[in-house]
């Protein structure tokens, strides 16, 4: 589990997170109907390398097959870990982007769901509610309080809107490695450590229009909803430092929720 020891370390992670959000600010306007997801990945790899970072997802091993891209692009019923391909974004798609940067050993992680062109009202709704779930979770982060408060806040908002919560994947400690303790589930479950100064973690609600059940495709990575209904995903990297909650990755809502 990450425990920041000094100001220099938090500054390292702050800078990595700012860089990742700056990348998204340039990327989001490019994610339009017609673009191939592999083109997005190539753009991301180039951007991160020219900025002096390392794309942490590229070659990352969670299971046997290393992840083959710098960004996860998960469309509609794809929940997370969608692999960039020749597939083109289409009008009406909900496109979830998830990316991380290693900048000088400090790791950031952020995800955003983008509406391609005109989308249905039900997509607009799940995207806004999932975004709100993220901020409800962040509001529950209080130094000295317990971690599962986050999970309760996310769960309550999702369930009160009739949505399913993905249980098999969750947020996580981050900062020196992409995935560290603790697990940050989107429903109260498992360990419930105190939120101490120096902790850095990713909160990432994955919310489904139907049930929370998911399956993994034959590519060994892409997680899809079992009922083929839409899923949305938003994520910030957050720290508890000097008794305060700091959201280290930056807001992108002004680019996403344009209508
Ligand atoms: N951002 C994802 C997460 O939070 C990680 C993607 S897995 C990778 O779990 F292999 F693509 F890196
Ligand atoms: Co994450």
Q: Could you tell me the pTM of the whole model? A: 0.98
- DSSP annotation string for 48-90: HHHTT-EETTTT--SSSSPP-SSEEEEETTEEE-PPP-SPBP-
Dist. CA 179–CA 142, nearest whole Å: 21
Side-chain-side CA neighbours of 242 within 13 Å: the count stands at 4
> How close is the Cα of 149 to the center of ligand 1, in Å?
23
> How close is the Cα of 86 to the center of ligand 2, in Å?
25
Residue 165 is encoded by which pair of tokens? 């919560």
**Ligand 1, atom nearest to 174 Cα:** 4
Q: Which of 48, 59, 67 to mutate to test the pocket of ligand 1 (most atoms within 8 A of CB)?
A: 67
Give me the tens of pLDDT residue by residue for the chain, a chain 259 residues long: 778 989 999 999 999 999 999 999 999 999 999 999 999 999 999 999 999 999 999 999 987 899 999 999 999 999 999 999 999 999 999 999 999 999 999 999 999 999 999 999 999 999 999 999 999 999 999 999 999 999 999 999 999 999 999 999 999 999 999 999 999 999 999 999 999 999 999 999 999 999 999 999 999 999 999 999 999 999 999 999 999 999 999 999 999 998 6
Pick from 181, 57, 33: nearest CA to 115: 33
**Ligand 1, atom nearest to 72 Cα:** 11
> How close is the Cα of 35 to the center of ligand 1, in Å?
22
> How close is the Cα of 204 to the center of ligand 2, in Å?
6
Residue ranges lining ligand 1, Cβ < 6 Å = 57, 60, 62, 67, 72, 81, 98, 100, 109, 202, 204
Can you give the pLDDT at residue 150? 98
Q: Which of 72, 134, 183, 222 to mutate to test the pocket of ligand 1 (most atoms within 8 A of CB)?
A: 72
């Amino acid at each position: 589990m990450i425990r920041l020891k000094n100001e220099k370390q938090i500054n390292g992670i702050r800078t990595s997170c700012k860089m990742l959000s700056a990348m998204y600010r340039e990327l989001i306007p490019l994610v339009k109907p017609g673009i191939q997801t592999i083109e997005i990945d190539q753009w991301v790899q180039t951007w991160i390398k020219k900025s002096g970072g390392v794309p942490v997802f590229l070659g990352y091993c969670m299971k046997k097959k290393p992840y083959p891209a710098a960004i996860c692009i998960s469309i509609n019923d794809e929940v997370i870990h969608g692999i960039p391909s020749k597939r083109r974004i289409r009008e009406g798609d909900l496109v979830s982007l998830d990316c991380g940067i290693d900048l000088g050993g400090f790791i950031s992680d952020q995800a955003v769901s983008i509406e391609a062109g005109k989308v249905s009202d039900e997509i607009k709704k799940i995207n806004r509610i999932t975004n709100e779930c993220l901020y409800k979770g962040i509001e529950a982060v209080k130094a000295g309080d317990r971690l599962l408060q986050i999970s309760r806040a996310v769960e309550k908002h999702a369930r009160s809107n009739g949505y399913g919560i993905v249980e098999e994947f969750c947020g996580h400690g981050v900062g020196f490695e992409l995935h560290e303790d603790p697990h940050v589930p989107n429903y109260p479950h498992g360990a419930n450590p105190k939120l101490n100064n120096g902790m850095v973690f990713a909160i990432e609600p994955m919310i489904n229009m139907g049930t929370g059940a998911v399956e993994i495709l034959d590519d060994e990575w892409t997680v899809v909803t079992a009922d083929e209904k839409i899923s949305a995903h938003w994520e910030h990297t957050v720290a508890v430092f000097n008794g305060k909650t700091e959201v280290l990755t930056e807001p992108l809502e002004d680019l996403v929720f344009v209508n």
